[in-house]
Amino acid sequence: MKVCVLGAGSFGTSIANVLAHNGHTTILWGREKELITDIQTKFVNTLYLPDFNLDPNLTATTSLDDTRDCDITFMAIPTQYIRSTIHEYSISLTSPIVVNLSKGVEQRTLLTGSQILEQVAGISSDRFCVLTGPSHAEEVVRSIPTAVVVASTNTEIAQTVQRALMNAFFRVYTTTDVIGCELSGSLKNIIAIAAGIIDGLKLGDNTKAAMFTRGIAEISRLGVARGAEMSTFFGLAGIGDLMVTCNSVHSRNRFVGEQIGKGKRLTDILAGMKSVAEGVITTAAAYDMSKNYNVEMPITEQIHQILFDYKEPMKAMFDLMSRSSKSEVWW
């Protein structure tokens, strides 16, 4: 097939590399001319994945004309910039299948990726997939065994994407729970920030395990309230992605939390990062959603106060531990 990936960040590049490895005619589009030239001539993403050689069959371009007539278009643009990028570059998503790779919830509108693309680009549910799961770009590009899930209400196109990506090191499962996969991939970044704060404070494994477990409980509560299937939160999109994001040295969101736990200010942390830490904005969006849907999310509430109200992390931890007692059945 001819496939294109819009967005030459780390994950977009790694997925483009998988597709090129699988023998597809693969076009990777990006805005930074120098970066795209490096990918095209050196087969290295010098900005986001400088230590890894890319498949020589991968074509990189700054021209959207090169991305026309693709069988599948993969969107690797951070959630908060999907709307503005489509408008700024007049991107026309005419492919029969559109797959969103980004994880997050748009802050102002509280829309997921599928909802943004439907609103801005007219992408109907029978053309849309979301790809998510525990898949750090730094490992995908090295062909380290990875398992992900692709979700669509249209089983046929989900299976088409599955076949396009599957190989001996990249395994793809399918599901119909689009909203569950979108929210799992987005909300776990909040818990990853919390896990990073715990690492920064050097509180230990007990604390992190509790945060991990209670974190999946509260994000699944919100997900079910928004129509997701509970089982999704205990699969690759949920626990799988949560585990890798809370523990990996590659996790941008865990890194943000760790730096906060060490006493650094959020503005300074974000200013020094190349890639987007989606969890910061997602925390604000999830906090608003929890109020709109009347879902109790104590960890999200405390992370919101740490990020935006400058609450001391240890005070937030004390407030979480001092809440009224409950049964664990209260998932």
Written as tens digits, the pLDDT of the chain (331 aa) is 999 999 999 999 999 999 999 999 999 999 999 999 999 999 999 999 999 999 999 999 999 999 999 999 999 999 999 999 999 999 999 999 999 999 989 988 999 999 999 999 999 999 999 999 999 999 999 999 999 999 999 999 999 999 999 999 999 999 999 999 999 999 999 999 999 999 999 999 999 999 999 999 999 999 999 999 999 999 999 999 999 999 988 889 999 999 999 999 998 999 888 777 788 999 999 999 999 999 999 999 999 999 999 999 999 999 999 999 988 875 5
- Compute the mean pLDDT over every residue in the chain, rounded to the nearest whole number: 95
pTM: 0.93
CATH code, 180-330: 1.10.1040.10
Q: For position 153, what pLDDT does the model report? A: 98
**Alpha-carbon gap, residue 163 to 173, rounded angstroms:** 10
In the chain, list all ranges with CATH 1.10.1040.10. 180-330
What are 147's strand-pairing partners? 171
Report the C-alpha gap between 310 and 292 in whole angstroms. 24
Question: What pLDDT does residue 29 have?
Answer: 98
- For domain 2-176, give its CATH number from 3.30.300.180, 3.40.50.720, 3.40.50.2300, 3.30.930.10: 3.40.50.720
Asked whether 9 and 82 are in contact (CB, 8 A), the reply is no
Q: Is 50 helix (H, G, I), strand (E, B) or coil?
A: coil
What pLDDT sits at residue 248?
Answer: 87
How far is residue 21's CA from residue 18's CA, in Å, rounded to a whole number? 5
Q: What is the pLDDT of residue 273?
A: 85
Report pLDDT for 330. 59
Catalytic amino acids?
188
- CATH 3.40.50.720 positions along the chain are 2-176
CA distances from 257 to 102, 117, 269, 271 (A): 20, 30, 10, 14
The span from the CA of 68 to the CA of 100, in Å, is: 17
